[in-house]
Chains A and B, each alone.
Chain A
Amino acid sequence: MVRLKIAAMELTLAHHPITEIQFGSQARLNGTVLVVDPEELRRVVLEDESILSTDFEIVRPGESCRAGPVFDIIEPRAKAPGSSPDFPGILGPPTTAGSGTTHVLDGAAVSVLAERGPGESRGATGRFLEMSGVAAEATEYSSLQHLVVIFHTRAGLPIQTIEKAYRKAGLKVAVHVASAALNQVPASIHRFEPVGPMEEGRAGLPRVAYIGQIFSRQRKPAVDEPILYRANTDGMLPVLLHPDEWLDGAIVPSLHSWIGGTETYYYQNHPVIMELYRRHHARELNFVGTVATIAGSDNFDRERNCRTAANLVRWALKAHSAVLTKYGGGLPHADLAETARLLEGMGIKTAVMVSDTSRDRRVESALLFNFPEVNAIVYNGGNGTEWEVPRVERIIAATPDMRQLLAGPLVAEASNIIGVTNQQGASRLRAIVY
């Protein structure tokens, strides 16, 4: 019998630390200085006819600067030739993400602003980037070198068209900027050890899976809303993904998640997946794989999705334990907890991460589920924190109105400062019971 050797999925990250971004007439990477050419980037962006013009700004850590509302933050990364495509499905064919080499501009970010705020109920300013002061200390984003991008879209377009243009153009800018690293020698190379249910030599280590919600159907996605390999999750059942697919562009936030604590940057640097990998390398556990799922819009959806996700973890990944994260607002807590409950019933131990729902700061309002077996809970805070942020020297926003709103001094809730209440595992703000 002929045994076919199937190439293992193994992602290599080629790291290029960035300490400064500059504008210049020729895009390049000079050591740790990234030079971007706004004219060249404009040509790339204006391929989309929804976008009329584009502004670029460079923002540094510690600067007295505020920018918003932020639509998304993306780490500049570009795939080496012969690897899987950049953001497959969106910028390339929908082939499997996560193979070959990805060049990463560490410490840099492409931050896309929206032209309008999300509306009163989410705070008129939306989430903004705060680069200095106390509030900035609660988010990693304030420590990055940002290329802030403002797309000015054609008047009268439907909101989905505008947001879709932001999404695609933002990713294109990030990839384009990172392509300057393709012919450079990286400062360091990181190869992930193979993971998967069949990996050998890890007997005795706890087999751990990750189940992550990537959308909540509290809102029906737009017909062509890109989420998973550009699919909008209509009709989607939970699906097995290799962890590298999450890190390497298979998933982007939904068009509306700029109001809910999920950014492309933390798919690329997924805090839960990176932590599982770290422990996998340290041989503390056996990371057997991941399941991407969605929160259902009703009990019928929920039942089907939760059972399918639990079954994949049990039968396909043969996991002993699982960590779970949610997406979006209140309703996804139900899907998260039900999946954990089903897993516990199968003898698979779980820990879950939830967002803060307790507006009255009482424990009784904190959880939207009550299963005794779902007893290991990481609780992100947020509802009890606000900062008085001062007037800053530099405001970056698409319109004069928005610049005025953001000028400060103003009172900002934790969830208004991008990164502070992130739901992908990046948040350090937690609630304490007293």
Chain B
Amino acid sequence: MRVVHYLNQFFGGIGAEEHAGTPFEVRAGAVGPGKLLEPLLSDGAQVVMTVVCGDNYAVEHQQELTAAVVKKVREIDANLFVAGPCFDAGRYGMAAGALCSAVQLQLGIPAITAMSEENPGVNLYRDALYIVDSGVSVAKMRDVLLKMANLGKKLVGNETVGLPHEEGYWRRGLLRDQLADKKAGTRLVDMLLAKVNGEPFESEMLPTAFEPIPMPAAVKDLSKAKVMLITDGGLVPKGNPDRIEGTAATRWGSYSIEGRSDLQGEEYEVSHGGYDTRFVQEDPDRLVPLDAMREMEKRGIIGKLHNEFISTCGRSNPLSNTRRLGREMAEKIKQEGVDAVILTST
């Protein structure tokens, strides 16, 4: 196994905070903690190169450092990238996270780092990486390196990685399937009885706490506002020109309603596999209420209806995807000077 190791200026032996501005340097072989890591990886594993960089330099020149490190790791043909452990050093953790995820993404080789819970790198990179829990005590260096080595070996060998508490990494918030010994019905009753009897039980899924979204400021004067209709109900012109998928759509489209005051079923179709679309097919205004909006436009309740509506399909659409769709739509409507949007769903 050929390993490239990343260390900050302190663990790389250059010095403490006063050397945090030191540019990165590349050294052959293992340095500091790397010398401890090598035997723990066993099977003749070698730290073939160590990159050392000052913490401030790493944060201030992240792009440059990342590009250089990815290039070096590629050239030296490593099969594992290790950064840290970083303990609670924030800048070190941020650099380690950025480098590990870049190496993993661009080179397709596993990368591993270690941080304490307080390290801001944990929340930023935990979903992308296996980050071992290092705690805050440098005295535990050997224990932490052992966990990193074990995990690293499994990743390189493409072995099944155990659960966070078994392997000692921070929960990534990802899912994988597994065949359980018991049927779901039995697990359900087991869990209920444990809950009723006040015994500990482990829910198979965790609730997600989302950041609250602040209420936007009210539209000052609706009678002067440009309003737009957006739907996730999958209404598209006949033929579905943007090929919007009926499940977990990755695309959206924007369609002209210029000069129209009523949508005709024969001109549209519905790309959505999650609801009974017959009623929308019969009269698309039931999903995209153009007729009602034109009426409001005529009566001066709204200033103007934007000349396009946006449509996508919300069915079974994961957040990692819908965030992007939302951002793209928001960019467009901002550019086009829309003041308010009505979202219709199914």
Chain A residues packing against B (C-beta within 8 Å): 121-122, 137-138, 206, 208, 218-220, 270-272, 274-276, 279, 284-285, 320-323, 325, 329-331, 349-354, 356-367, 370-372, 374-385, 414, 422, 424-434
Question: A425, B206: Cβ atoms under 8 Å?
Answer: no
Interface residues of B in 299-324 (CB under 8 A from A): 315-321
Some 23 contacts from A to B, beta carbons below 8 A apart, are A208-B192, A271-B183, A275-B186, A279-B189, A284-B193, A321-B196, A354-B205, A359-B248, A361-B175, A361-B176, A364-B173, A367-B207, A376-B203, A383-B175, A414-B177, A428-B180, A428-B181, A429-B177, A429-B178, A433-B205, A434-B161, A434-B175, A434-B176
Q: Which 3 A-B pairs have the closest CB atoms?
A: A425-B185, A271-B185, A360-B318
Query: Which one of A279, A322, A367 lies within 8 Å of B193 (CB-CB)?
Result: A279
Question: A426, B184: Cβ atoms under 8 Å?
Answer: yes
List residues of chain A with CB within 8 A of the CB of B204. 377-379, 430-433
Q: How far does the alpha carbon of A383 sit from the alpha carbon of B247 in the complex, in Å?
A: 13
List residues of chain B with CB within 8 A of the CB of A122. 273
Question: A330, B316: Cβ atoms under 8 Å?
Answer: yes
Q: How far does the alpha carbon of A349 sit from the alpha carbon of B210 in the complex, in Å?
A: 25
Query: Which one of A137, A275, A325, A431 lies within 8 Å of B205 (CB-CB)?
Result: A431
Query: Beyond A431-B176, A432-B163, is A425–B275 a contact (Cβ under 8 Å)?
Result: no
Query: Which one of B176, B189, B245 lies within 8 Å of A432 (CB-CB)?
Result: B176
Q: How far does the alpha carbon of A235 sit from the alpha carbon of B209 in the complex, in Å?
A: 36
> Which secondary structure dominates chain B's binding surface?
loop
List residues of chain A with CB within 8 A of the CB of B210. 364, 370
Question: B205, A220: Cβ atoms under 8 Å?
Answer: no
Q: How far does the alpha carbon of A208 sit from the alpha carbon of B190 in the complex, in Å?
A: 12
Closest beta carbon of chain A to B275's beta carbon, Å: 5
Question: A331, B177: Cβ atoms under 8 Å?
Answer: no
Question: B175, A381: Cβ atoms under 8 Å?
Answer: yes
Question: A382, B177: Cβ atoms under 8 Å?
Answer: yes
Q: How far does the alpha carbon of A356 sit from the alpha carbon of B316 in the complex, in Å?
A: 10
Query: Which one of A352, A370, A382, A425 lies within 8 Å of B207 (CB-CB)?
Result: A370
Closest beta carbon of chain B to A329's beta carbon, Å: 6
Question: B184, A430: Cβ atoms under 8 Å?
Answer: yes
For A138, the closest partner residue in chain B by CB is B179
For A381, the closest partner residue in chain B by CB is B177
Q: How far does the alpha carbon of A416 sit from the alpha carbon of B174 in the complex, in Å?
A: 23
Question: A363, B188: Cβ atoms under 8 Å?
Answer: no
List residues of chain A with CB within 8 A of the CB of B192. 208, 321-323, 349-351, 376
Question: B276, A365: Cβ atoms under 8 Å?
Answer: no
For A385, the closest partner residue in chain B by CB is B177
Question: B205, A367: Cβ atoms under 8 Å?
Answer: yes
List residues of chain B with CB within 8 A of the CB of A331. 274-275
Closest beta carbon of chain A to B110's beta carbon, Å: 15
Asked if B2 CB lies within 8 Å of chain A CBs, one says: no
Asked if B197 CB lies within 8 Å of chain A CBs, one says: yes
Q: How far does the alpha carbon of A242 sit from the alpha carbon of B35 in the complex, in Å?
A: 69
Closest beta carbon of chain A to B8's beta carbon, Å: 28
Closest beta carbon of chain A to B215's beta carbon, Å: 19
Chain B residues packing against A (C-beta within 8 Å): 127, 161, 163-164, 171-189, 191-193, 195-197, 201, 203-210, 245-248, 273-276, 278, 315-321
| Given A353-B188, A362-B318, A366-B205: 20 more A-B contacts, CB < 8 Å | A219-B275, A220-B278, A330-B315, A331-B275, A350-B192, A362-B175, A366-B175, A366-B208, A377-B204, A381-B175, A381-B176, A383-B175, A385-B177, A425-B183, A427-B183, A428-B181, A430-B177, A432-B175, A433-B206, A434-B171
Question: A363, B274: Cβ atoms under 8 Å?
Answer: no
Question: A375, B203: Cβ atoms under 8 Å?
Answer: yes
Q: How far does the alpha carbon of A117 sit from the alpha carbon of B315 in the complex, in Å?
A: 20
Q: Which of B164, B179, B192, B321 has the most CB of A within 10 A?
A: B192
Q: How far does the alpha carbon of A291 sit from the alpha carbon of B50 in the complex, in Å?
A: 65
Question: B174, A271: Cβ atoms under 8 Å?
Answer: no
Question: A426, B185: Cβ atoms under 8 Å?
Answer: yes
Closest beta carbon of chain B to A354's beta carbon, Å: 7
Query: Beyond A218-B275, A366-B205, A367-B205, is A433–B182 a contact (Cβ under 8 Å)?
Result: no
For A357, the closest partner residue in chain B by CB is B316
Q: Which of A375, A376, A431 has the most CB of B within 10 A?
A: A376
Query: Which one of B193, B209, B248, B318 lies within 8 Å of A206 (CB-CB)?
Result: B193
For A432, the closest partner residue in chain B by CB is B178
Query: Beyond A349-B192, A377-B205, A425-B183, is A430–B174 a contact (Cβ under 8 Å)?
Result: no
For B182, the closest partner residue in chain A by CB is A428
Query: Which one of B181, B185, B203, B275 lies within 8 Å of A275 (CB-CB)?
Result: B185
Question: A375, B276: Cβ atoms under 8 Å?
Answer: no
Question: A425, B184: Cβ atoms under 8 Å?
Answer: yes
Question: B205, A362: Cβ atoms under 8 Å?
Answer: no
Q: How far does the alpha carbon of A290 sit from the alpha carbon of B228 in the complex, in Å?
A: 47
List residues of chain B with CB within 8 A of the CB of A381. 175-178
List residues of chain A with CB within 8 A of the CB of B184. 271, 353, 378, 380, 422, 425-428, 430
List residues of chain A with CB within 8 A of the CB of B127. 362
Query: Which one of A274, A363, A424 lies within 8 Å of B208 (CB-CB)?
Result: A363
Q: How far does the alpha carbon of A271 sit from the alpha carbon of B148 in the complex, in Å?
A: 42
Q: How far does the alpha carbon of A346 sit from the alpha carbon of B41 in the complex, in Å?
A: 55
For A363, the closest partner residue in chain B by CB is B173
List residues of chain B with CB within 8 A of the CB of A432. 163, 175-178, 204
List residues of chain B with CB within 8 A of the CB of A385. 177
For A348, the closest partner residue in chain B by CB is B196
Question: A358, B207: Cβ atoms under 8 Å?
Answer: no
List residues of chain B with CB within 8 A of the CB of A374. 207
List residues of chain A with CB within 8 A of the CB of B182. 428
Closest beta carbon of chain A to B278's beta carbon, Å: 8
Closest beta carbon of chain B to A60's beta carbon, Å: 23
List residues of chain A with CB within 8 A of the CB of B193. 206, 279, 284-285
List residues of chain A with CB within 8 A of the CB of B186. 271, 275, 425
Q: How far does the alpha carbon of A3 sit from the alpha carbon of B188 in the complex, in Å?
A: 40
List residues of chain A with CB within 8 A of the CB of B189. 208, 272, 275-276, 279, 323, 351
Question: A363, B185: Cβ atoms under 8 Å?
Answer: no
Closest beta carbon of chain A to B170's beta carbon, Å: 10
